[in-house]
Structure 1
Amino acid sequence: MERIRERLKNKSTSAETVKLRKRRSKLYDKHAGAKQEEFLGINIYVFSVAFRLVNCFFVQTSFVPDEYWQSLEVSHRMVFNYGYLTWEWVEGIRGYSYPLVFAVLYKVLHIFNYDVPQLLVWLPRVLQALLAAYTDVKLYMIVRNLENPDVAKLTYFCQLCSWFTWYCCTRTLTNTTETMLTVLALYYYPLPGSKTHNSSKYLTLVALAVIVRPTALIVWLPLLAFHFWRDNSKLRLILHHALPIVALSLGLTTIIDSLFHGQWVLVHWNFLKLNVLHNVSEFYGSHPWHWYFTQGFLVVLGPHLLFFLHGCSLAPKRHRVLLFTIAWTLIVYSLLAHKEFRFIYPILPICIIFCGTSLANLTTWRRAAVFFLVVANLLPALYTGLVHQRGTLDVMGHLQDLCDPATSNSSQPQVLFLMPCHSTPFYSHVHCPVSMRFLECPPDLAGDGSVEDEADDFYFEPLAWLRRTYPLQESLPSHLVFFNVLEKEISTFLEANAFTKQTEIFHAHVPEGRVGETIFIYTRQI
């Protein structure tokens, strides 16, 4: 009996030891897993920052005028008290909150006497690159919280190799910041299965996105409605989260805008009234209703399109709200006459999630798919970032020499841009109060024909416009900047007034309309 008791005691002790070892092993595995996740997270952060900084300096082309005229030009005027504001700022349909970010950066540079053109141009871009890197990581974490690590890693890969993201994410466009804030808000949004839900944080980020660009509300309307429908404490959601955030953000932006506009102004209402109710945006061009479905969306997704469609067919039910958001955004923007690729940029990261799902399910063809995505995105990314439409930026580098009396041929240089309005940046890329003028083209808001479109008047009869505007040689500018397609039409004016070609700058291989392949700088020989 004693031996039996001893054996039972030994077995019991042995079983407890095994359990203890298993418990320790689980704790160790859990601790090791947490350490591994933390290490992986740090690596992704570091790699993302390095990748987007390279991205930043490999984008040396111009996309649309708004990346300067709705940000850097405004910031430059706010800090240095000279520059030009477009009609949107005069009419009060643009807010100063976004340019204020770059204005703070400019002010710091000015205080420490480092406000040179190169830093004024590139530091805002570097700031955008850092925000883009943070956004890449957050997109990875969104999918990591919803799916397995394999899907998260492949989504991260798809995000990094997207040519349109490469092309846009480091630009100082309001659409770029709107897209980044949308992704950051999605991280805290209560997606089915998400572990990082925080109503206050995601609503604050949504409010910031709307402040930067009011149309951000288009993307968020179905998501906000879905959250409200699923939330069990709707009254608390409205009273404790939504209303305080809306009131605070609206109050702060109204104060900021009113201070800089010099009068009480509600920018978001003015924006809605002019762009939607009065359809002023159509003045800048219109497209057929199906343009986003037949061209815009296809170009923005690019080589990712097939994987997006495949991922949609595999998407679980909990992701239907994201699919509905994509479809809703495309439909709403299709109802507006004026359409641009950048308008639907905020839904691209959402589409990338489905691309990651697709790659995760392509077990046999995954390597081939990865290789295809890298090669197919690399060519358009490098071409659009380094080659296409770079002349309008390069020309400003040449004009910087006019700020230095030692290198300038004229004691009081005057530059006239004979190009479609807002083709180039302005004082933010020259940074000296040299006299510059371009052809203006504000819309006729009153509708009575009282507003003159200088660009249309000039291109209708270029020679007649020049002779009428500059009847005396004393009033002539010292420098003319124009696309090569205009040279023949104004050649007699150039010869009669002793203008000679100083510089020829490449712009684009496939020019359109009034835009040429190269840009000329002509200097008057006095």
Structure 2
Amino acid sequence: MQRAESDMRAGGGGGFFPRGRTRSADTVRLRKRKSALYGAAPGAGGERGPDLIGENIYLVLFTITLRVLNCFLVQTSFVPDEYWQSLEVAHHMVFNYGYLTWEWAEGLRGYSYPLLFATIYRVLQLLAKDDVQLLIWIPRLVQALLSALADVKLYSLVRHLETAETAKWVYLCQLCSWFTWYCCTRTLTNTMETVLTIFALFYYPMEGSKTKSSCKYLTLVTLAFIIRPTAVIPWIPLVLRHFWQEQKKADLVLYSYIPVGLVILGISLIIDRVFFGYSLKQLKTWKKSAITFLLLSNLLPALYTGLIHQRGSLDVMMHMQQLCNNSSNQSWASVFIMMPCHSTPFYSHVHCPLPMRFLRCPPDLTGNESYLDEADIFYSNPLKWLNEEFYNGTLPTHLVFFSVLEQEISSFLALNGYEKTATVFHTHMPQGRIGSHIYVYARRVK
């Protein structure tokens, strides 16, 4: 029926042509321009065609290789959640030490995403291969692999909805995006949500689709919801439509509902790739210039943000990890991170029970309007806070803080015998409590 309707749109099936009438050349051209959205294009009618893993193994291997390279070329920090809501939780689950933020103490987070990395950690532990570098990089490589498969599914989705040529340009835009490069290999809940969203879009039951595809779609949406409950928001219109209405013109509904939901979830960039890729396909002139601009304008931000901007948060933890290499150090060393709370990863990047502390900032859940967290109190008068906190108390052997704090606490450092032992670059754009460098001060052993 669908093919017959498509033929009739193009002038076929005898529906619009009286017998004996010759079809014009214009009619033939209209038939050739038949859109994959409405006609019987490859994979239409709910069939996605052969899976790309079997159909184009080279595309899959290239994408995986690129994302693995992507993973190793991102050596900077972005937001605290990429550690504190994933790796730190997994480390605590498997190795039974570490720190869980207030959300976990209040039961506001789910363990489904950290469980993925906890499984990896547990396997490494059983194999006696739980080296700190493996704990850091293997989870990121797993996330890179999942993101690579999502890239391939995005290509396949657009190819199904439009044409192979359009899919090629969308795929290029996806790979060239500096922000995708910056985020897609990080162990962020949002990154996993993006992956699941692309997969769910691919398996969204189009008109005439089989039950198997529908089940995959619903499973992926459910999994996204388990990882973060708000992920269900963009899917409500589609899920309701799937159950309550007939599957007619599903392509148009997809385009009309999904962009709104993706904006809510912060992944509207996927839609950007689709429309930008479609625009590239339509270019008749300046196409090479546009592609060159696309590559160069994304290459520099990708390399800068991935290799330079905000790398100090990770590099300084390598200095802390060195304290674990010598067992005698562990018996006396202790670390106090005097930075905005959660500025660095924690035990997932040290992996030894070294006494460490940081400025904490849990929100007030009692309604106290005058509440100030520990970090706010510290930064209101750092020198006073340090003198009161460690008055007749045990001083930490190592202090870690941003360079902007050094002058303000210099008297405390000199009085207690601290000396600068490391200077770590962090950013060219310091602001507020965040400095351009991170300093490590160690107390002289008398």
TM-score over 0.5 for the alignment? Answer: yes
Counterpart Cα distance in 1 of 2:110 and 2:426: 32
1:178–1:216 contact (8 Å) kept in structure 2: yes
Match of residue 157 from structure 1: 172
Within the candidate set 454, 467, 470, 2:374 is matched to: 454
Q: What SS does structure 1 have at the residue aligned with 2:423?
A: strand
What displacement does 1:221 show? 2.2
1:194-232 deviation digits (Å, cap 9, x = unpaired): 899821110100011111122211222233244345436
Match of residue 275 from structure 2: 354
Q: What SS does structure 2 have at the residue aligned with 1:500?
A: strand
Within the candidate set 459, 465, 468, 2:385 is matched to: 465
**Aligned: 1:475 with 2:394:** yes
Paired residue type of 1:105? I
1:105-143 deviation digits (Å, cap 9, x = unpaired): 001101111101100000000000110111111111111
Counterpart Cα distance in 2 of 1:489 and 1:70: 32
The structure-2 alpha-carbon separation of the partners of 1:37 and 1:423, relative to structure 1 and needing over 3 Å to count, comes to closer
1:68–1:425 contact (8 Å) kept in structure 2: yes
2:208–2:247 contact (8 Å) kept in structure 1: no
**Aligned: 1:377 with 2:315:** no
Aligned length: 398
Q: What SS does structure 2 have at the residue aligned with 1:121?
A: helix
Counterpart Cα distance in 2 of 1:163 and 1:464: 43
Counterpart Cα distance in 1 of 2:79 and 2:208: 39
Paired residue type of 2:184? C
**Aligned: 1:405 with 2:420:** no
**Aligned: 1:61 with 2:76:** yes
**Aligned: 1:505 with 2:424:** yes
2:207–2:247 contact (8 Å) kept in structure 1: no
Match of residue 82 from structure 1: 97
Counterpart Cα distance in 1 of 2:52 and 2:419: 64
What displacement does 1:364 show? 2.0
Counterpart Cα distance in 1 of 2:199 and 2:400: 42
**Aligned: 1:121 with 2:136:** yes
Counterpart Cα distance in 2 of 1:41 and 1:144: 13
Paired residue type of 2:276? C
What are the within-5 Å matches in structure 2 for residues 118-517 of structure 1? 118-191=133-206, 198-228=213-243, 230-231=245-246, 318-319=251-252, 321-330=254-263, 333=264, 343-345=265-267, 347-405=268-326, 408=329, 411-448=331-368, 453-472=373-392, 475-517=394-436
Counterpart Cα distance in 2 of 1:421 and 1:44: 42
The structure-2 alpha-carbon separation of the partners of 1:76 and 1:176, relative to structure 1 and needing over 3 Å to count, comes to same
Paired residue type of 1:461? N
In the superposition, the TM-score normalised over structure 2's length comes to: 0.84
Counterpart Cα distance in 2 of 1:452 and 1:399: 29
1:218–1:329 contact (8 Å) kept in structure 2: no
What displacement does 1:323 show? 4.4
What displacement does 1:36 show? 13
Counterpart Cα distance in 2 of 1:501 and 1:36: 57
Q: What SS does structure 2 have at the residue aligned with 1:510?
A: coil
The structure-2 alpha-carbon separation of the partners of 1:102 and 1:498, relative to structure 1 and needing over 3 Å to count, comes to same
2:103–2:109 contact (8 Å) kept in structure 1: yes
Counterpart Cα distance in 1 of 2:127 and 2:52: 41
The structure-2 alpha-carbon separation of the partners of 1:414 and 1:38, relative to structure 1 and needing over 3 Å to count, comes to closer
Structure 1 unaligned blocks of 5 or more:
1-29, 234-315, 334-342
150-159 vs 398-407, greater mean Cα deviation: 398-407
Counterpart Cα distance in 2 of 1:418 and 1:428: 19
1:61–1:390 contact (8 Å) kept in structure 2: yes
Counterpart Cα distance in 2 of 1:478 and 1:103: 31
Counterpart Cα distance in 1 of 2:208 and 2:165: 17
2:235–2:261 contact (8 Å) kept in structure 1: no
What displacement does 1:42 show? 0.5
Q: What SS does structure 1 have at the residue aligned with 2:266?
A: helix
Match of residue 240 from structure 1: none
Counterpart Cα distance in 1 of 2:204 and 2:254: 12
Q: What SS does structure 2 have at the residue aligned with 1:476?
A: coil
Higher helix share: 1
Counterpart Cα distance in 1 of 2:71 and 2:277: 24
1:73–1:426 contact (8 Å) kept in structure 2: yes
1:292-345 deviation digits (Å, cap 9, x = unpaired): xxxxxxxxxxxxxxxxxxxxxxxx994463244223554xx4xxxxxxxxx503
1:145–1:193 contact (8 Å) kept in structure 2: no
Amino-acid identity (%): 57
Paired residue type of 2:283? L
Paired residue type of 2:309? H
1:34-69 deviation digits (Å, cap 9, x = unpaired): 999877610111001100000000000000000000
Paired residue type of 2:113? Y
1:425-466 deviation digits (Å, cap 9, x = unpaired): 000000000000000000001113696511001000101110
2:52–2:152 contact (8 Å) kept in structure 1: no
Paired residue type of 2:73? F
2:207–2:250 contact (8 Å) kept in structure 1: no
CA RMSD of aligned residues (A): 2.5
Counterpart Cα distance in 1 of 2:158 and 2:247: 25
Match of residue 440 from structure 2: 521
The structure-2 alpha-carbon separation of the partners of 1:499 and 1:98, relative to structure 1 and needing over 3 Å to count, comes to same
Structure 2 unaligned blocks of 5 or more:
1-41, 43-48
2:52–2:60 contact (8 Å) kept in structure 1: no
What displacement does 1:378 show? 0.8
Counterpart Cα distance in 2 of 1:355 and 1:425: 36
